[in-house]
Amino acid sequence: MLETILIVCEANMCRSPMAEMILANRLPDKTIMSAGLCARPGRPADRATAQLMLERGYDLSAHLTTLLTLTHAKAAHLILTMTLDQRSRIECAYPFTRGKVYRLGEHDDFDITDPYLHPRAAYEESFAQIEVGIDNWIPGIRKCG
């Protein structure tokens, strides 16, 4: 059973909050969390990210950044990262996670572009990549229960 899904990026300000909100909306019966490998805890979502998400019907105003911890890694049944490098870093830090850490873009073999401090088009590209990744993961997640 995949009851708890953790989404991870670098700072937990852009990509992972977007993915968390979209996945939580599509899988309301699951516990969806997000964290960052280098997050500074307690910060709001990136302003451009929050604006983009609001325009698409998602409210990130309550989001506060969270640093990835051992507790998160243990609690998650599935961990989805934005990049292959992030996957490797998690598996290195927490060897017990091997077999439950994958890239969000795993099915099509792509990394999610980091939009932070880039023009609006980069945020839109990341959002689109995240949606593709989620669309590819949902059937398998539902199949696993």
* Residues forming the active site: 9, 15, 114
Handedness of CA 131, 133, 26, 39 (dihedral sign): negative
Q: Residue 139 is inside which H or E element, if any?
A: helix 120-144
Q: Which residues contact 8 (CB under 8 A, 6 or more apart)?
A: 16, 34, 35, 36, 37, 68, 79, 80, 81, 82, 86, 90
The pairing of beta strand 4-9 with beta strand 78-81: parallel
Phi and psi at residue 11, in whole multiples of 5°? -110, -5
